[in-house]
Amino acid sequence: MRDSVLKKHKTLSEVVGQSQLKFVNMEIKTFHFNPIMVNTYILSDETGEAVIVDPGNCRMYEDEQIRDYVSDKNLKIKYIINTHPHIDHIAGNPWCVSEYHAELLMHEAGMPIYNKAFAYAAAFGLEVSGMPAPDRFLKEGDEVAFGNQRLSVLYTPGHCDGSICLYNSENQFVITGDLIFELSVGRSDLPTGSEPLLLQSIREKILTLPDEVTLFPGHGFPTTVGKERRGNPFIQM
């Protein structure tokens, strides 16, 4: 994530208040995991079915945070979804798949990076066990269904190959991975990254949505399409 844009300081109460958000018929719980502080999301609704998006847990106490939340809410984890294959977003795949026997979903274009997880983990000082193979590949236009919910898959390369966003039209939010952040955008200088492609993905898949749509990024705090359209210096059209 680019750090050249200074962000408004958030108080502890604001951070806590943003960690668990309720929409009309869905609850989104946010965890901040591993040294890179990835946002791991658990989405659930009144049926008790849930999905984990970008499990970044790689330490025992992080595993316990997920276990406690899932147990307290009596959730059934149906899917584990990776928005892209970078190690901070997939470090928890082995534990989550083993713990919940849920299907692992990702985009096939990210597999060359995913298959090098051990090397990337070592470079960032992380320890990961054997990475599970995906159960199903997602592509543009697919829908991921759990409970009474639907997440539409948007293919959004540029940060790296295999990057996707997950759009819920009913509750008007997008989980964006590392495509776009509050007043910033994702890095494009890592393997398979491309700044022109990143900006194209943002303009064609995010800025075409209504201003009130909430964006849940892979790091940092939620924002909205309108705020980014008006104030993000990297995407001014």
177-221 pLDDT per residue, tens: 999 999 999 999 999 999 999 999 999 999 999 999 999 999 999
Specify the pTM. Answer: 0.90
Q: What local confidence, expressed as pLDDT, does residue 123 receive?
A: 80
CATH of the domain at 21: 3.60.15.10
CA distance 174 to 151: 9
In a domain, 149, yes or no: yes
CA distance 29 to 41: 6
In a domain, 75, yes or no: yes
Residue 24 in contact with residue 237, Cβ under 8 Å? no
pLDDT level of residue 119 (50, 70, 90 thresholds): confident
Full 3-state SS string of the chain = CCCCCCCCCCCHHHHHHHCEEECCCCEEEEEEECCCCEEEEEEECCCCEEEEECCCCCCHHHHHHHHHHHHHHCCEEEEEECCCCCHHHHCCHHHHHHHHCCEEEEEHHHHHHHCCHHHHHHHCCCCCCCCCCCCEEECCCCEEEECCEEEEEEECCCCCCCCEEEEECCCCEEEEECCEECCEECCCCCCCCCHHHHHHHHHHHHCCCCCCCEEEECCCCCEEHHHHHHHCCCCCC
CA distance 228 to 7: 13
- Tally the domains of the chain: 1
Is the pLDDT confidence value at 236 over 90? no
In a domain, 73, yes or no: yes
In a domain, 7, yes or no: no
pLDDT level of residue 129 (50, 70, 90 thresholds): confident
Give CA 14 to chain center in angstroms.
20
In a domain, 166, yes or no: yes
In a domain, 97, yes or no: yes
In a domain, 119, yes or no: yes
In a domain, 2, yes or no: no
Share of the chain above pLDDT 90, in %: 83
CA distance 47 to 146: 9
Q: What local confidence, expressed as pLDDT, does residue 20 receive?
A: 66
Domain that holds residue 182: 12-231
Place of tokens 């502890």: 12
